[in-house]
Chain A
Amino acid sequence: DSGVTQTPKHLITATGQRVTLRCSPRSGDLSVYWYQQSLDQGLQFLIQYYNGEERAKGNILERFSAQQFPDLHSELNLSSLELGDSALYFCASSVGGRDRGETQYFGPGTRLLVL
């Protein structure tokens, strides 16, 4: 158990809909990262938040957005869903300091199926 929690575990929805995925980082971690894993693309970084502010952006679609709240949990919002958005979505967290060799710890993921 990494200490990172994600809800829900599974989500089934229809095209055009909007969903919200939730992540609670490990106690004390300030950084949250979101990754997407689809069958054809592998694991890809989407976005990072550090202490409530966006820190880095990867291959995140404009239909997707995220935020990190004062209690440090994070939500990933996916809208106007398409079939191709079906994937595993992972959240990871790290301490978020400036120490070198920092490690990210991953949650169990949310499996999204768009029908």
Chain B
Amino acid sequence: DAKTTQPPSMDCAEGRAANLPCNHSTISGNEYVYWYRQIHSQGPQYIIHGLKNNETNEMASLIITEDRKSSTLILPHATLRDTAVYYCIVRVGNAGNMLTFGGGTRLMVKP
């Protein structure tokens, strides 16, 4: 799996958009970008994933650059409950591949 680089921490004001960057310059053509988050010591929670196109669901938006070497997870209106560690993972999307977690970004949403 391709290696990812994320800032170790970020702050965001409550109600504002949180934009979390991820670099994955060695990504292969068949590797997906996945985002998970872990709130305190709870189980990692799936947020969103994508291959080439931008994706949006009820939780977040994922913007992938045209060369696929970086991506941004956007939480449109961050709340205090979004305070968590966010993990960007790139992997081939089939049943045989485990998730390789890096250090992630610790997002602190402040009132």
Contacts and interface: CB of A to CB of B under 8 A. Distances in A.
Interface residues of B, number: 26
A66 B102 CA distance: 24
B105 to A, nearest CB: 13
Contacts of B41: 37, 88, 109, 111
A102 B94 contact: yes
Interface string B65-79: 000000000000000
Interface in A14-50: 30-31, 33, 35, 37, 42-45, 48, 50
A108 B94 contact: no
Interface of B is mostly: loop
Contacts of B42: 108-109
Interface in B56-111: 87, 92-103
Contact of A45 (B93, B100, B103): B100
Contacts of A42: 101-103
Contact of A90 (B44, B96, B97, B100): B44
Interface of B: 30, 32, 34, 36, 38, 41-46, 49, 51, 87, 92-103
